[in-house]
Amino acid sequence: MFFQRYLHIRSLLPTLNFKIKTQLFHFSTKYVSPLNKKSWHLTFEDNFDSINKEKWRLGQPWGYFHEASLHQYHDKNNVISKTGYLYLQGKYNPKEFKLKDSSITIPYSIGLINSDISFM
């Protein structure tokens, strides 16, 4: 009863787990990639200094939006690459589109890249 009323054990678990793990295990801060193994070969890499449009498609092959997901559309302005990082933004930015014989307003724009053109 005491734990149910006064101590929310679920709120303490992440903190306890972190403390126990750091005390019991000494984690190395240096990352060792599995690609250093002799049997592995790098086939695709991008450091995102810029968007290489020969590797990446901005959006999806079917267009700006999909009929099954009418709450978001793909906007190439929400894809930003700088200093080695890729930023895919989501914004409230209503825009009107034609769908069959009517027009619809989709409220959110998202950034999306797709590597399907790299493996054809």
Interval 18-32 mean pLDDT: 59
What pLDDT was estimated at residue 98? Answer: 92
Q: pTM here?
A: 0.59
How far apart, in whole angstroms, are the C-alpha atoms of residue 87 and residue 79? Answer: 6
Under the banding of pLDDT at 50, 70 and 90, the label for residue 59 is confident
Which range has highest mean pLDDT (1-5, 60-64, 87-91, 113-117)? 87-91
